[in-house]
Amino acid sequence: MAGQQDLRIRGHLVIPGALLSVRYTRGGGPGGQNVNKVATRVELLFEIDRATGLLGAAVVERLRKSCSRRMDRLGRVRIVAAEYRHQYRNQVAARDRLRELLLAALSAPRPRRASSPSRANRERRLRSKHHRGAVKGLRGTVSNDD
């Protein structure tokens, strides 16, 4: 079922509804007749390949890495929401999760800044090595000069 509402991520960044599709199914678990009769479980599908021009190649690649387990064979990110008894609330929850995933992919990871051990740490390490060497030095052969 295509033709969803556009999804605003932040500022002027909006995912067009044409890239989103939703399926409704009956949810599992406890809930009595409501679970057995009403299709409240929401499965939101986001076509990631068609969003490359909108998001950029680097963002799409980060999204592919972080969502590799959520992707289907057609390259769509699949988000399932079934925690509420109402279809609308599950749809809002699924859209919120997709927004969070996209926001995480939009922020580039900070490069790791190399650090060096502190002076006290180096001194402790060297003291420990000298102590260990002294202990091993005491294990030499015993001479019987008697």
Give per-residue pLDDT as tens, 78-129. 999 988 888 899 999 999 999 998 888 888 888 889 999 999 999 999 999 9
Q: Where are the domains of the chain?
A: 7-106
Phi and psi torsions of 142, nearest 5°: -90, 125
- Six-digit token string for 66: 């972080």
3-state DSSP assignment of residue 10: strand
pLDDT band at 29 (very low <50, low <70, confident <90, very high): low
Q: CATH top-level class for 7-106?
A: alpha beta
| 31 HSE (CA, 13 A, CB side) | 17
35 pLDDT above the threshold of 70: no
- Six-digit token string for 43: 């499965």
Phi-psi region of 11 (alpha: psi -120 to 50; beta: other; left: phi over 0): left
3-state DSSP assignment of residue 22: strand
- Arithmetic mean of pLDDT, 10-25: 86
